[in-house]
Amino acid sequence: MEEKLQNFYELFTRRKSIREFSDKEIEEEKLSRIFEVLRRAQSAANCQPWHFIVLKKEGREEFNQLLKHDGFKKSPVIIVACAEPKKAWVRRYDNVNYAWVDVTIAITEMIAAATAEGLGTCWIAAFDPDKARKLLDIPSHIEIVALIPIGYPKTPLVREEKDRKKLGEILHYNRW
């Protein structure tokens, strides 16, 4: 396999959810590259119905109280990923709004970029969105999709294989 392809696939074998972060700060160049990946992420009809709030460690004490796991509080950066449904593409056949799908795509690409940079992340959905909205002064028409802490992991990025469904359970050819 070509080296670049091998590196791409290796990226996804290294990626895992990180819940404990070291005290090392993230270099601004790395953050800039990660944020550029966010900016360029694909979205339905290129609507880009998203906003991302960057919370640095300093001044985040009150917000940290929303986090269930103490390890997340040590991450140098937390991204608050938000959707703006009014700006999203809507499938005309059934009126499905793609705002959350688009934000999820951007988050996934950002997580891959962070992993490529040697950083760890974790997808957090277990938080009170109303409290977060109030603390961050987020307008009512904006929905918080997830919180993503980013930082250097306390332990190396080596993913242990988890119990995953077999391909035959999730792939369906031509019909269900």
- Contact present, 86 and 158 (Cβ < 8 Å): no
Secondary structure class of 96 (helix, strand, coil): strand
- Name the residue among 149, 124, 147 with its Cα closest to residue 135: 147
Q: Which residue has the tokens 């918080």?
A: 144
CA atoms of 63 and 138, how far apart (whole Å): 13
pLDDT in tens, 53-84: 999 999 999 999 999 999 999 999 999 999 99
Q: How many C-beta atoms lie closer than 10 Å to residue 34's C-beta?
A: 24
Q: pLDDT tens digits for the chain (176 residues)?
A: 577 667 888 888 888 899 999 999 999 999 999 999 999 999 999 999 999 999 999 999 999 999 999 999 999 999 999 999 999 999 999 999 999 999 999 999 999 999 999 999 999 999 999 999 999 999 999 999 999 999 999 987 666 777 889 999 999 999 98
Q: What is the CB-side half-sphere exposure of residue 108 using CA atoms within 13 A?
A: 9
Q: Return d(Cα 108, Cα 50) in angstroms, integer.
A: 14
> So what's the pLDDT on residue 155?
82
CB atoms within 10 A of CB 105: 16
Structural domains in the chain, sorted by start:
16-156 (3.40.109.10)
